[in-house]
Amino acid sequence: MSDARAILSRLRRGEVPSVEDLRWFAEGLADGRVSDAQAGAFAMGVCRGDLGAEGRTALTLAMRDSGDVMDWALDGPVVDKHSTGGVGDCVSLVLAPALAECGAYVPMISGRGLGHTGGTLDKLEAIPGVTTQIPQEVLPQLVAKVGCVIAGASARIAPADKRLYAVRDVTGTVESLDLITASILSKKLAEAPQALVLDVKLGSGAFMKTEGEARALARALVETANAAGCKASALITDMSQPLAPALGNAVEVDAALRVLTGAEAGLLADLTAALGGQVLVDAGLAAEAEAGAARIRAVIADGRAAERFGRMIAAQGGPMGFVDNWARYLPEADVMHEVTARDEGFVTAIDGEALGLAVVALGGGRQVEHDVINPAVGLSEVIRLGAKVGRGTPLAMIHAAREDAARRAAQAVRAAITIGAKPAPVPALVRERISL
């Protein structure tokens, strides 16, 4: 019979715990049999070693099974998407309704922003009345009725992960491939999706800064999800500039609606189509990724995805006519300040993490989980890589609560945007596709 001390001793000796050991430890995290000290020792032991593919899958499934696993009775496949986090990344708001229009059901369990990246739940809650805290017993009814829901995880979803993540955050054990994989997938697999697409970000605005790191995580996620019985693929995507030209909550909702209503195209629309096309293939709803991407673009172009988004917003407590006049409902900042270039040349680099931290400093993000955010603040009209600029060319529009905050943000924006004498190559949006 397993116990915490025996499992920790095996980890200390460099042994990989058995499937039974990992299941016992996950259950102990969920029910309190495992202390915080033991959880921290476990996380450090995993960080210092390597669980391997089988051990990583076993830990993921054990953490998934520490809570409830959804059960669906629907007439189409259940699918989802996960992003490892970036700036200006509001793909979920566009992708969920587009996938629903293509015949999939999307119970998108999302998170809140922490650090320099924004959270999908925070963005959605910038819309007046919208709730993302949906009782688990109600969620299947909403998914069946609307086709897509974006909600937070209940306490009954992967409780072992919630406990272990809190310990990892204060013990310096966040950066472990095994623990990151198990944390991401335990929650996603609790939704019981038939197909999952993973968006692994690479670049200045992402957590993964090198190709090697991004590729290793993408492969671990794909291999583990497939071993757990969920068809999964990953796209390694560029985050050397904000995905949408906006960072913040209300401004990113605005950016998403511009794509959904056909008012704008660009990187956000392109990545939505790429991710959607891949998951439609894995769900059996498209023959190949290009055809799936074309279906995503089509339901956006003819307005069906926007109409579905409006139904989702109304079902989650938001305004009935939101899509028809979204600017009327979104909160607006008290101070608007345009940042302009002081040099001539070309935009050769954008420090996305610095821009994200500037939004946090404006009050649009969290440094710790209990921080209260201001949904109106942020950056919009952010210039794109490769753009030619002269003195006075707008670099971004700042949305702030106070003049002094806007001035500090302007300094941060100028410092984050590099202007060179010659243009530099702009990286491809989709750097690599990984499937089994």
Catalytic positions, written as ranges: 80-83, 120, 168, 183, 187-188
CA–CA separation, 152 and 112 (whole Å): 8
Nearest to 313 by CA among 141, 138, 132: 132
DSSP string, 100-126: HHTT-BEEEEE---BTTB--HHHHHTT
Q: Helix 289-301 vs helix 91-101: angle between axes, to the nearest 10 degrees?
A: 100
With the C-alpha atoms ordered 139, 76, 120, 71, is the resulting torsion angle positive or negative? positive
CA distance 80 to 103: 13
Measured from the Cβ of residue 296, the count of other Cβ atoms closer than 10 Å reads 26
Task: Please say whether the beta carbons of 404 and 328 come within 8 A.
Answer: no
Instruction: Let me know how long the chain is.
Output: 436
Q: How far apart are CA 68 and CA 157, in angstroms?
A: 6
Per-residue burial over 56-78, b if 16 or more Cβ lie within 10 Å, else e, is bbbbbbbbbbbbeebebeeebbb
Could you tell me if 163 and 171 are in contact, meaning their C-beta atoms sit under 8 angstroms apart? no
